[in-house]
Structure formats: C-alpha cells, structure tokens
Chains A and B, each alone.
Chain A
Amino acid sequence: MKDSLRQSMALFHTWSGLLLGWLLFAMFATGTAAYFQDEITRWMQPEVTGSADPETSAQGAVRYLNTVAPDAISWYITLPNGRSATTQVYWQPGDGTRGKRGETSAVLDQTGRAITVRETSGGFFLYRFHFDLHYMPVLWARYLVGIAAMFMLTAILSGIVTHKKIFADFFMLRFGKGQRSWLDAHNVTAVIALPFHLMITFTGLVTLASMYMPWGIAANYASPAVFQEQVFGREPAAERSGRAQPLVDLAPLMRTASAEWGGKQVGYISVTNPGDATARVLITRSPGAAIAARGETAAFAGATGKALGGHTATGAAVATESVMIGLHTGRFAQWGLRWLYFLSGIGGTIMVGSGLVLWTVKRRTRLPDPARPHFGFRLVERLNIAAIAGLATGIAVYFLANRLLPADLAQRADREIDSLFLAWLAVGLWGMVRPAGRAWTETLALAGACFAAVPVVNALTTSRGFAASIMSGDWLFVAFDLMMIALAACFLQAAGKVAQHRAKNASAPPRRAARKAVSQ
C-alpha cells in the first residue's frame, strides 16, 4: 500500500514539475549565472580595468550626484567591492516622480565620472531577470516567480517520496539508453545536489517572503512600516528644512562605521535630503563581509557627521531569515564556494531541463501514433526547445550583442537585453515550424555555435582576447572564454547526440511499424 502513495506522489511530481518547469529552467539558468554577476559585468565593460577604492569611489559618487541630483529625496550608492570596479548610483528625484530607469541611475568609475562607453546592464540583468523577469510589471513577475518556486519546493518533496532507491541511484548514470538515461540524468543531478536544491528553493521563497506570506506581519502590525522600522531600523525621512548645508566627507564616516563592525567593509550608502540641514547618511555593511544578508547599519547626520547610532537586527527568527537570504544570494562566498554554488546551480538547471525532456521521452513510446503526436505532447516538446535551446542561445547572443552593437548606441543597455529576447523568440519560432527532432539538433547546434563565437568576437573587437588575457594574467577574461568554450562544447555535443539518435531511429523503421501494429 506504500506504493500507492509513491504513485500519487509520482503523478504529482510529474505535473507540478511540468507546469512551471519552463519558467523554473529560466530562473535556474539565470540565477546560476548571477553567482558571477560582477564578473560578467566586468567582462561586459572591457574598457573598465583595475580595481576601485571604496572611499575614493564614495567621494566620486557624491561629486557626481551633487551635479546631477542635488535636490533629490535620496541617493543610493552601491560601492565597488573586491569583485567589481564600478559604483552604481541611483536617486529619487526631488519632484517625487519615479523617473524612468536609466534617467535616475548611473554607473560611475572611481573618480565619479559616469561610464558612458558601451552602456550595459551586464550580469546585473541576469540577476534581476532571475526574479523580476522582463517586459512585465515587477510585482506580477515576483508573484509568478514565487508560485514557480513553491511548485519547485513541492516537486522536490514529492520527488523524494517518489524515489525508491535514492542512494543506489546516486551512483547510477547509464549513457545511451534512451529513457533510462534521461531518468538517470534527472536523478543524479537531483540527488547529488539535493541539499542545495532544497536550500536554494526554500531560501528563494524566503527572500520575498513578506510579499508571498504577509499575514504573519499583518497579524501583529497594523502598519508594515512599524515592522520595517523595528527590524531594519529604517526611519521615515524627515521633511527638508530648506536650509542648505553641504554634506560632510563620507570617507571618515565609512571608517567609523567599519571600525564599529570589527573592520568589515562598507557596502552601501544612502543619503536622504542631501544638501539640506536635515540630511541623514545611512551606511550599510558590505553583503560580502558575512553570511547574514541584512547587514549592520550606522547612521550619521549628513550636515555634521555626528553618529546617530547603529542598528543590528536582533532575535533568532530575524537572524535566521537574514542568514537564509544570505545563503540564497551567496554574496559572502569566496572563490571556492562561489564555484560550488555555480556548479550546483548548473546541476539544478540540468535537473529541471532533463525533467522536462523526460516528460516527452517517457510519453513518446506510449503515443498511439508516434509520428503524429497529440497537441499537448507537441506543445510540451516545442516549449522544451524554446526554453532550453532558446534561452541558451539568447544568453550567448546577449554577450555577442555586447561586443557587436555600436559602443555609443542610444539606450544601448536595453538593446542588448532586446537582443537576448529576439534570439530567444527566433529559436522558439524555429522550434515551432520545424519537425521536433530536427529542431532539437539545429537549435542546440545554434546555441553551441553562438557560445563558441563569443571568445572569437571578443578577441576581434577588444584588446582583451584569450591570448592577450593569458599574457597579462587576466584570469577573469581567461575563465570567461573557457566557460564559453565549455558551454559551446556541451551544446554541440548534445546536438550531435540528438542527430545520432535520430539517424539510429531512421535506420530502424520496422520497430516503429511493429509498435504501431501492436497498438492498433
């Protein structure tokens, strides 16, 4: 009787996994890439070299903001860390409007000059797409992503119940055996990194928990603002007094804050009412300095530099939440752990992808007429192509567009992103009009070719090609090229396998005819 529980859980696993599997695949793929978002951004800004000093950068950012947005309600400055070399600033315009993105934000170098050459969203876009998607309101996207994550969590749990020999299958990866191999691939990638998958899915939900499950807070707080203030120490901004008073130098404040936190680096600075006597500076600890995502903060009076006290979130549950978010985003991870995060993410991406393919492989043999599958089957098959080969091609094209679009193109960052989606759409459409087997070969080969083209185009359009990077010991660029080549090899290999498989099937038509005869 235990088997019937397993059966119903298997059924549940199949359908909950399929329904949002395509979105989950995209979330896993872009989320995995986002573990290297700073490195991707550096690759996409080849003109920016060297590293930046946080204190100098903060001073540069203030100079920039004083010119472009002196009367802003607030400034937000994300300082460079060991991995990035640029400063991101954005501001809330003084007239209270929510300006268009790009008009109220800028990427600066250490001296406070906006980087206008080869404007790009870089790895940041892949990070944001992971939970904000694109071309749709952020709020909807986050609900959709949350639903997908909840499906993922239940799919993982039901997958565990379904799984009979979880440890035997750990060592079982049989190649070239059709459905069995797909199942093995799904099981191995799922089981090896099972703790990671559970952790990443659960903590992913936690990152946006107050959006998905606001009722815990609503039960104790009539106003969420009171909760915010208790947990984050965020005070509502004071009214501007109208008495102009320049902002004090931020560098000494950063040193004071850092010393208070036992030497941990500063990550963000926000300034409310800049240039006014009521200005307030809030300095937040760098997310790379500890696992807990909600870092310590220190507040200062902007006009005098007087310390207004610090804030550290306290309490077991709040600390747990903060650590969970930190575990998800992995900002604390050093190189070894970062690569482990990345590899686990790749495992998750393969787990979702192979699960999607498995759905069709398993059903293909049971189709009444394999040559003419029913609509639902065809839809899943085509969406699989669009989701897997399409997204891969899109990401490769995103990198290519970064090198090939004119450096001074208007709204260049947006055009790069559009290129990604155009390529994705094109592959999706191609998958619709071609026979499925052939479409798989062609689109996987295309994805492989696009990844392979990235190092070539990089070498031709910048002075930081593979050979030059090796000579100068620029390991970030070397690693990026190698990763592109590895991805190209994987996709070309996959395309070759599908072609081989098709050739084998084509040369053995009697089997299919025999099966057809049996089913009739």
Chain B
Amino acid sequence: MGIYTAPSVGVGVTVMAIKAQSGERSTVGRANVAARLLAAIPANYLLTSLATAALARLLWRGLGVDPANASVAAMLTSFVMFSVLALVAFGVRSALRLWLWMIGAGAVLGAGLWLSLASGGRL
C-alpha cells in the first residue's frame, strides 16, 4: 500500500525513536507510536479478518471454487496479509494516511462482504 508510494518511508517511527533515546519524549511521538500499534495489531486483525472473509466469499460465489477450498485458501492467505500489514504500519511515513487507507479498505471489504452475504447464504 502506502509503503510503495511514499519514497521516504519509515521516517516517523525513526524520528520518534531518536527523540526517545535522547530523552525527549513528546506526546506527539507517543501518540504516533500508539496509533501505529493500534493499526498494526487490533485494527490489522479486524481488517485481515474482513479481507479473509471477503476473499473466501469471492472465491466461492464469484470464481466457483468449492466452498471448503475457498475458505482454506483465504485462511492460508490471511497470515501473509496480517504480517505484511503489520510491517507496513511501522514502515509508512504518515500514521494518518495509514489509518485512512485502512479504514477505506475496511469499508470497501465490509460492504462487499455484506452484499455477498445478503445475496446468498452460507452452508
């Protein structure tokens, strides 16, 4: 995601770290790290779960994979998604942009999942 678009990634956390090491602990820096931690762990899990569920639906209802294999394929992919997203959360320059991206992606995936579940039930 953002990691590829911004040429100067990772500056936020690094600056924060240098400040922390020199003993200068700003509230801004702390909030920055907290925002990234929240994005990297709970929000990441939520988004990955949505993506996994949406992918399982897409594979089954959209691409005709049998439901068991669709579910397992999505499940196997989820760990890649989660770990990459966790790194991205600390790698991108702006925590705000990160959150906007994640909320946007979550909304799109959530809407897709909801539509899919509303249009056809589960086994």
Where the two chains meet, the residues of A that have a C-beta atom closer than 8 Å to any C-beta of B are 1, 4-9, 11-12, 150, 153-154, 157-158, 161, 202, 205-206, 209-210, 213, 215-223, 226-227, 230-231, 315-318, 320-321, 324
Contact = CB atoms under 8 A, between A and B. Distances in A.
**Among A12, A220, A321: residue with most chain B CB under 10 A:** A220
B83 A215 contact: no
30 contacts: A1-B8, A4-B9, A7-B14, A8-B12, A9-B10, A11-B13, A11-B90, A153-B79, A157-B84, A206-B76, A213-B78, A216-B52, A216-B55, A216-B56, A216-B74, A216-B75, A216-B78, A217-B75, A219-B53, A220-B71, A221-B67, A222-B123, A227-B68, A227-B123, A230-B67, A316-B69, A317-B73, A317-B76, A320-B72, A320-B76
B99 interface: no
Nearest to B74: A216
Interface in B64-123: 65-76, 78-79, 82-84, 86-87, 90-91, 113, 117, 121-123
Interface string B1-35: 00100011111111001000000000000000000
A8 B14 contact: yes
A219 B56 contact: yes
Contact of A221 (B14, B48, B71, B78): B71
Contacts of B73: 216, 316-317, 320
Nearest to A14: B17
A1 B67 CA distance: 45
A209 B3 CA distance: 27
Contact of A219 (B57, B68, B79, B91): B57
**Among A6, A202, A217, A231: residue with most chain B CB under 10 A:** A217
Given A8-B91, A9-B90, A213-B49, 20 more contacts: A4-B9, A7-B14, A11-B17, A11-B90, A12-B90, A153-B79, A161-B87, A202-B79, A209-B79, A216-B73, A216-B74, A217-B71, A217-B72, A218-B53, A219-B56, A219-B71, A220-B68, A221-B67, A222-B122, A321-B72
A317 B72 contact: yes
A461 to B, nearest CB: 46
B39 interface: no
Interface residues of B, number: 46
A210 B17 contact: no
A153 B14 CA distance: 22
A231 B72 CA distance: 10
A5 B13 CA distance: 9
A8 B13 contact: yes
**Among B10, B54, B66, B117: residue with most chain A CB under 10 A:** B10
Contacts of A1: 7-9
Contacts of B67: 220-221, 227, 230
A12 B117 CA distance: 38
Contact of B113 (A158, A209, A219, A317): A219
Q: Is the interface of B mostly helix, strand, loop or mixed?
A: helix
B11 A4 contact: yes
Nearest to A16: B86
Nearest to A206: B76
A16 B6 CA distance: 24
A219 B123 contact: no
A368 to B, nearest CB: 10
Contacts of A218: 53, 122
A231 B68 contact: yes
Contacts of A231: 68, 72
A205 B83 CA distance: 12
A216 B72 contact: yes
A205 B81 CA distance: 13
Contact of A5 (B71, B83, B91): B91
B71 A206 contact: no
Nearest to A226: B123
A231 B75 CA distance: 14
A206 B79 CA distance: 8
Nearest to B14: A7
A176 B114 CA distance: 60
A206 B8 CA distance: 34
Contacts of A150: 79, 82-83, 86
Contacts of A227: 67-68, 71, 123
A244 B13 CA distance: 70
B76 A321 contact: yes
A213 B14 contact: no
Contacts of A316: 69, 73
> Which 6 A-B residue pairings sit nearest by Cβ, starting from the closest?
A8-B10, A315-B69, A216-B74, A317-B73, A219-B53, A216-B75
A157 to B, nearest CB: 6
Contact of A220 (B7, B57, B87, B90): B57
B70 A4 contact: no
Contacts of B52: 213, 215-216, 219
Contact of A154 (B10, B17, B55, B86): B86
Contact of B49 (A8, A215, A220, A320): A215
A315 B55 contact: no
